[in-house]
Amino acid sequence: MSEGIIVRKCESLEEFHRCVELQREIWKEAELEVEPATIFVVASHTGGQVLGAFDGDRLVGYTLALVGLRGQVPYLHSHMTGVKSEYRDRGVGRMLKLFQRDEALGRGIRLI
């Protein structure tokens, strides 16, 4: 169902801005405040995660996690995950969360 979807780290300012636009699209009905691109930059540069699900060049989902410490043990606070409406129920969210887990474990982070 999610054939052709690739999950990877978002690393550029342009990709962070695309995450912000996707937030606005996903939560427009709820009239929630969106996280600015600067939060995505901070997460990316301080040990958090900004992960994107891409259908070709199109960003169709993302996950934002911030790093924290509990005692001396790092963990990730998974702050938000969103998927475009036409890509829901196709396993994209699951792909994002499994990638999030694998990436964290690869860095020795065992708690999200």
Question: Looking at the domain assignment, is residue 84 inside a domain?
Answer: yes
For 77, the token pair is 């606070």
- Lowest mean pLDDT across 6-10, 31-35, 72-76, 105-109: 31-35
* CA-wise closest residue to 83 among 60, 63, 52: 60
- CA 33 and chain centroid, separation: 17
Number of domains in the chain: 1
Rounded-to-integer distance, Cα 83 and Cα 71, Å: 33
Name the pTM for this structure.
Answer: 0.94
Q: What is the CATH number of the domain that holds 54?
A: 3.40.630.30
Residue 44, domain member (yes or no): yes
**Helices (DSSP H) in 27-91: which residue ranges?**
37-45
Report residue 45 as tokens: 């540069």
Amino acid at 95: M
pLDDT tier at 1 (50, 70, 90 boundaries)?
low
| 66, part of any domain | yes
Domain-embedded: residue 17 = yes
> What range defines the domain where residue 30 resides?
5-106
